[in-house]
Amino acid sequence: MGDYQTIRVADGEFKAYVARPTAAKAPAVVVIQEIFGVNKVMRDITDGLAGQGYLAICPDLFWRIEPGIDITDHSKEEWARAFELFNAFKVDTGVQDIAATVDQIRQDPACSGKVGAVGFCLGGLLAFLTACRTSADATVSYYGVGLDNVIAEARSCTKPIMLHIAEEDGFVNKAAQAAIIAAVEGQSNVTVHTYPGRDHAFARVGGEHYNGADAMKAGQRSLDFFKQHLG
């Protein structure tokens, strides 16, 4: 179980869920939420990273719309609310909040100085932008929605990035996937993994499209990536 800390920005403050490893000093990883808020899935991922030896933190990026969103993907009503939140959310402002989270956790006495980020769905888009626009040292993006619209930013990004792409993603069509892959081709700092037959959110435990084998494969790739770039 983790606890919460407050992150202050120019126009207010928000909470972030924090899970700490047993080590006195460790690299940090910012966990970037899906459209369901900082829910059990996100807290479990944060706890899991702490179990792997990382100082993990998951900020509440919907705080300006409604603080403390914690819903699931198990009902039509929750899906409707999630899309309302998604449509009201401002991506650029969200990235600024992530930047503040990166800066704050880097100053934590338990942080070794290195900070990575991992995001899912909406968070997959935000993770990519985190690599391009913040001081994060390495980022992992899972099935980022809308990534094709900002992928050109990769040209000016030198930080290590890993992209997990579901080949049958219902929210990211084949043309968008092709555009993403083509845009980063030849960039040594970007690693792309594709997952044949997998749909969006194949790594979301309890989700409709969850696939244990590929979730484990992507998870191990992500851990190896963080070990390489964060230490």
Q: List, by residue number, the catalytic residues.
A: 169, 200
**CB-based contacts of 194: which residues, under 8 Å, 6+ apart?**
165, 166, 167, 177, 181
Tokens linked to 219:
């998870």
d(CA 177, CA 37): 25
Mapped onto helix, strand or coil, the DSSP state of residue 26 is: strand
**Angle ∠(148,154,160) on CA atoms, nearest 5:** 120
Q: Are 38 and 18 in contact (CB under 8 A)?
A: no
Q: Are 105 and 55 in contact (CB under 8 A)?
A: yes
Q: Are 206 and 71 in contact (CB under 8 A)?
A: no
Tokens linked to 147:
């990534």
Q: Are 26 and 54 in contact (CB under 8 A)?
A: yes
Tokens linked to 85:
């939140």
